[in-house]
Structure 1
Amino acid sequence: MKGSLGFRRTALAGAALATALGGSALLVACGSGQGDGGAPATATAARLSVDDSYIPLPPAGGMAAGYLTVRNDGGQGDELVQVSSPGASSVTMHRSTASTMEQVEKLDVPANGALRLARGGAHLMIMGWEKAPVLGDELELDLTFARTGTISVKVPVKELTYRPGQQ
């Protein structure tokens, strides 16, 4: 009889352990529905690409503006948090309003959308050129994003009057 009681205890303990483990697995599988960073688990990570980049030729060695479009084909947004260049001492992000221009710390890149840096809006200010730019030069810009990391792009120096899609 003692052997039978030991078997029952072992069987009950095994059943309790299996139930507990199964319940834990179910809780993990049914989680909060949130992926990393609080995004829905079904959202895909940000997938960034850069196009339409250009720098209008600045006056002799002076400050220049930089324009480009960051496209995000992913289901999760990102933020442009820093821009640097090995060919310039300073690259800062700015936003123009009707009457002012202000430096900003970050620019949003929406999920399944685009961040457009364009004349009259958000743009880059490039200062301290290593060498004075001429038409056709390319300046490397290192764009650092909060989630995606750094993307390096070569940005061509164009005529002052250049407008993408209008040339």
Structure 2
Amino acid sequence: MNHRTTRTLAAALSLTAALAISGCSSDSSDSSDSSGADGAKPELTVSGAFMPEPVNAEMAGAFMVIKNGSKTADKLTGVTSPLSDDLQIHETKNQKMQQVQSMDVPANGELKLTRGGNHVMFMGLKSKPAVGDKITVELRFEKADPVKVEVDVKERTYNAQNSNAH
């Protein structure tokens, strides 16, 4: 009876594996469909969020890394904060900054918002933050739930690449 149970279990596992494999997409691209086997939303985490101290209250940039630990791709679609009513997502291409409606957060990957690259732009600040302040922002995504982030205000010369060991 023990041998029969082992064979039955092995057959059940083989059938489960076959069903799982047949449920996979037949194309070679990563699936960006949010209707995974369990319908799970992307798992997003944020690290290294900072804002260099702004020169004036007209504008400021924020930088961070958004990691996606799931098999479901997502998009950053908006940012809100009490510091400004006008937050924009900017990409930098050919050394030119332009506003975009969204940015991809790849499955099992990350979206890096860095100095000289893609970033969040605060326009028309309600107040001028100083070094040591913390700014609250809420990141909004196409599929994942919003993520609240504390952004540290750093010296104007701060460079995150020199302090990535968090």
Q: Fold match, TM over 0.5?
A: yes
- Which residue is equivalent to 1:70? 66
The alpha carbon displacement at 1:128 in A equals: 2.1
Could you list the runs of 5+ residues in structure 1 that have no partner in the other structure?
1-28
The alpha carbon displacement at 1:44 in A equals: 5.6
Amino acid of the structure 2 residue aligned with 1:130: K
- Which residue is equivalent to 1:24? none
Whether the aligned pair in 1 keeps the contact of 2:42 and 2:71 (CA below 8 Å) is yes
- Which residue is equivalent to 2:23? 33
Question: Aligned to 1:162, what secondary structure does the other structure show?
Answer: coil
- Which residue is equivalent to 1:100? 96
- Partners of 1:142 and 1:120 in 2: CA distance: 22
The alpha carbon displacement at 1:45 in A equals: 3.7
Mapping for residues 40-79 of structure 1, pairs under 5 Å: 41=37, 45-79=41-75
The alpha carbon displacement at 1:61 in A equals: 1.5
Amino acid of the structure 1 residue aligned with 2:77: V
Whether the aligned pair in 2 keeps the contact of 1:55 and 1:65 (CA below 8 Å) is yes
TM-score for both structures, normalised by structure 2: 0.74
Match of 2:154 among 150, 154, 158: 158
Match of 1:87 among 83, 89, 113: 83
Query: Bigger radius of gyration, 1 or 2?
Result: 1
Cα 1:55–1:38 change in 2 (3 A) is closer
The alpha carbon displacement at 1:97 in A equals: 1.5
- Which residue is equivalent to 1:26? none
- Partners of 2:151 and 2:34 in 1: CA distance: 34
RMSD: 2.6
- Partners of 2:32 and 2:105 in 1: CA distance: 17
Cα 1:162–1:38 change in 2 (3 A) is closer
Question: Aligned to 1:101, what secondary structure does the other structure show?
Answer: strand
- Partners of 2:146 and 2:39 in 1: CA distance: 21
The alpha carbon displacement at 1:131 in A equals: 1.6
Amino acid of the structure 2 residue aligned with 1:164: A
The alpha carbon displacement at 1:165 in A equals: 4.3
- Which residue is equivalent to 2:139? 143
- Which residue is equivalent to 2:126? 130
**Which one has the bigger helix percentage?**
1
Amino acid of the structure 2 residue aligned with 1:59: V
The alpha carbon displacement at 1:60 in A equals: 2.3
Whether the aligned pair in 1 keeps the contact of 2:57 and 2:126 (CA below 8 Å) is no
- Partners of 2:84 and 2:133 in 1: CA distance: 13
- Partners of 1:150 and 1:42 in 2: CA distance: 20
Could you list the runs of 5+ residues in structure 2 that have no partner in the other structure?
1-18, 25-30
Whether the aligned pair in 1 keeps the contact of 2:33 and 2:73 (CA below 8 Å) is no
